A and B are shown apart, each in its own frame.
Chain A
Amino acid sequence: DTGVSQDPRHKITKRGQNVTFRCDPISEHNRLYWYRQTLGQGPEFLTYFQNEAQLEKSRLLSDRFSAERPKGSFSTLEIQRTEQGDSAMYLCASSPLGINTLRVNEQFFGPGTRLTVL
């Protein structure tokens, strides 16, 4: 076991390139979340899925960002035409779905993918 895993852990890219990150949630968790964290700040919500359905997207998620969770298991976050302002830690989290609403809201985080855009 397995906690939430993310790949890659670090990514350095040049401005204008596309990047894709992967997140594998805890296996029995139905909900999967993406957050972005810049240095010295708390995580900011980007989007989340329940199974394969994307239920909410933040206004922070510009049209250059797209997330998928095609089979309701792992998820990918793609950033097209990266900009220097995209440099941040991208965190993935998951939570279970069930009748225990506290458990539903308790999110377990992965180690993050640190993106540096040169």
Chain B
Amino acid sequence: AQTVTQSQPEMSVQEAETVTLSCTYDTSESDYYLFWYKQPPSRQMILVIRQEAYKQQNATENRFSVNFQKAAKSFSLKISDSQLGDAAMYFCAHNQGGKLIFGQGTELSVKP
């Protein structure tokens, strides 16, 4: 079965600190893509960062970076210099054919 597991239902971080959100996945695809999406309260889902599985180099987008461990099927998101606006639900996902398979989400709160 194609699954995505986010083992941390909730996380909290102090403003300006660094936090890491965990994600593991299982797929039988040999070539695939991984994504982190952010869903603020009552707002739409937006893409934070993406990783091509055939690339060994970890993706980085400004304060967001990933630690991609293909053999372990792990794809964690690191948020540096956390800001109040980072508070949201974060979903890890991978593609299966044309669709995305999502994890259960991690709710991140940022303390001022």
User: Nearest 9 CB-CB pairs, A to B?
Assistant: A42-B102, A109-B45, A45-B99, A111-B44, A105-B95, A105-B33, A42-B91, A43-B102, A48-B98
The residue in chain B whose Cβ has the minimal distance to the Cβ of A46 is B99
Q: Once bound together, how far apart are the Cα atoms of A77 and B7, in whole Å?
A: 32
- How far apart are the CA atoms of A81 and B52 in the complex, in Å? 42
Q: A3-B44, A105-B95, A109-B44 are in contact. List 17 more A-B contacts (CB 8 A).
A: A33-B98, A35-B100, A40-B104, A42-B93, A42-B102, A42-B103, A44-B102, A45-B100, A50-B98, A56-B97, A56-B98, A56-B99, A105-B100, A106-B50, A107-B47, A109-B37, A111-B44
Known: A110-B44, A111-B44, A112-B44. A42 touches B104 (CB 8 A): yes
Q: Mark B35-64, 1 if CB is under 8 A from A, else 0.
A: 101000001111100101000000000000
Interface size on B, residues (CB 8 A): 23
Query: Is there a chain B Cβ closer than 8 Å to A102's Cβ?
Result: yes
B106 CB → nearest A CB, Å: 10
A62 interfacial by beta-carbon distance below 8 Å: no
Q: Mark A68-108, 1 if CB is under 8 A from B, else 0.
A: 00000000000000000000000100000000011001111
Give the size of the chain A interface in residues (CB under 8 angstroms).
25
Given A105-B33, A108-B47 in contact, is the A42-B98 Cβ separation under 8 Å? no
- For the complex, is A41 an interface residue (Cβ under 8 Å from B)? yes
Q: Interface code A47-71, partner B: CB below 8 Å = 1, 0 otherwise? A: 0101000011000000000000000
Instruction: Report which of A31, A41, A109 forms a contact with B105, defined as CB distance below 8 A.
Output: A41
Q: Is B110 an interface residue (CB 8 A)?
A: no
Residues of B within 8 A of A43 (CB): 45, 91, 100, 102
Instruction: Report the minimum CB–CB distance from A114 to chain B (whole Å).
Output: 9
